[in-house]
Amino acid sequence: MTPLLTLEEVDTYYGAIHILQKVSLHVNEGELVCLLGGNACGKSTTLKTALGMVSPKVGKITFAGEDVTKKNTSHRVKMGIAVVPENRRLFGPMTVLENLKIGAYVRGEADPVDLERVFELFPKLKDRQSQLAGTLSGGEQQMVAVGRALMSRPRLLLMDEPSMGLSPRLVEQSFEMIAGLHAQGISMLVVEQNANMALSVADRGYVLQTGRIVLEGAAGDLAGHDELRRAYLGR
């Protein structure tokens, strides 16, 4: 199986601060991979690097077999990477429908078929489509964020902390939704702090600690791993 996304020995800096150190990971076609780690360990930076919002100083990034290290975000989204950002980052003063249409920006005008698909997935949104996105509840906003990402017909969906800021019940729903999308064959890279939740739906996982991958393996193995607990407890 060819990997859809790979990061090879990526080093990233913010100014003079070394964030990612020789991070290598890959996501295969149809796979759900989770990236675990505590606060400020470089999870979001990894996502941003994959998306092209942060450019690595050293290392190579490929997507669907093509070297995209030097390509900008717009290009990568066009190639099929979509993201559900941390805190969802909806365009609050715009309507739900407009938010979804923005998701299809790289495809030109939004395809009605894609819209139908999103509304099928989240029937609630169909009734709310002309409501301003900022006025929705947290769970509904999550739906819009996911729907917006799906509008570009992504081959790979990146999710940044899907559980953040949601109530426990909604977190559960959120991961059910992730599992559902996975079942439809969408490849995903999910960044999470909530390790148990993430590992319950993932195929494989990586553990990131202060900018380095310290552990990787199948989700089942990781879930029972002692070091995972240690990784969360201290340096």
Partner 1 sequence: MGYLGQQLVNGLTLGGIYALIALGYSLVYGVLQILNFAHGDVYMVGAFIGYFVEIALGGPSHTKVPVPVMIFIMFAVSMIGTGLLGIVIERFAYRPLRKSSRIAPLISALGVSILLQNAALLLFSANIRTYDTSSFIPSTAGFSIGSVNIDSVRFAVLILAMLLMFTLSKWVNKTQVGRAMRAIAVDRDAAVMMGIDIDRVIRWTFFVGAALAGAAGVMNGLLLRGVSNGMGFIPGLKGFTAAVIGGIGSIPGAMAGGLLLGVVESLTQGYLSTNFSDFYTFILLIAVMLLRPNGLFGKKAIVKA
Partner 2 sequence: MSEDTSKLGIGTDEWVAQHEKRLQRRSGALGIVDLLNQRVSNKVRYSALGVAAIVFGLFVHNLYLLRIASNLGVFLMMTLGINIVMGFAGLLDLGFVAFYGFGAYAYALTSSSQLNQHWPTYLSVPAIVIATAFLGYLVSLPSRRLFGDYLAIVTLFFGQIFIQLVLSSDSITFPGHTDSTDITGGSNGIPGLDPFKLFGRAFKSTSDYYWLLLIVITLLLIAVVRVNRTRVGRAWRTVREDPLASQSMGIKVNNLKTLAFVVGAAIAGLAGAIFAGIQSAVFINGFDIPLLTLIYAAVILGGSGSIPGSIIGAFVMSVLPEILRVQNYSEFLFLAVLVITIGVIGKNWKKLAINIVSLIAIGYFVKALFSLSHMTTTPTKTWAIAPVSKALQYWLVLPANRIVWGNMAFIALVALVAYYSIAHEKIKPWLLPIIAYIAIFVWEDRLVADASTTRQLIIGAMLVVMMIVRPQGFLGKTRVEVL
Residues at the site binding partner 2, with contacts judged by CB under 8 A: 15-16, 18, 57
Q: Which positions from 106 through 165 interact with partner 1, judged by CB under 8 A? A: 106, 108-109, 148, 152
Rounded Cα distance between 22 and 31, Å, is 23
Distances (CA, A) of 76 to 52, 147, 208: 7, 18, 24
Identity of the residue, 57 or 230, whose beta carbon is nearer to partner 2 in the bound complex:
57
* Of 10-18, 37-45, 61-69, 86-94: span binding partner 1 (CB under 8 A): 86-94
DSSP structural state of residue 110: P
Residue 186 binds partner 1, judged by CB under 8 A: no
Residue 85 binds partner 1, judged by CB under 8 A: yes
Identity of the residue, 16 or 233, whose beta carbon is nearer to partner 2 in the bound complex:
16
DSSP structural state of residue 7: E
Angle formed by the axes of helices 96-103 and 138-150, nearest 10°: 30
Neighbours of 18 (CB within 10 A): 14
Identity of the residue, 58 or 94, whose beta carbon is nearer to partner 1 in the bound complex:
94
Rounded Cα distance between 70 and 52, Å, is 8
Task: Give the one entry of partner 2, partner 1, none that residue 138 binds, where binding means its C-beta sits below a cut-off of 5 to 8 angstroms depending on kind.
Answer: none
**Cβ within 8 Å of residue 137, ≥6 positions away:** none
Residue 180 binds partner 1, judged by CB under 8 A: no
Positive or negative, the CA dihedral 152, 131, 177, 183 is negative
Q: Which positions from 39 through 58 interact with partner 1, judged by CB under 8 A? A: 51, 53
Residue 105 binds partner 1, judged by CB under 8 A: yes
Task: Give the one entry of partner 1, partner 2, none that residue 83 binds, where binding means its C-beta sits below a cut-off of 5 to 8 angstroms depending on kind.
Answer: partner 1
Task: Give the one entry of partner 2, partner 1, none that residue 18 binds, where binding means its C-beta sits below a cut-off of 5 to 8 angstroms depending on kind.
Answer: partner 2
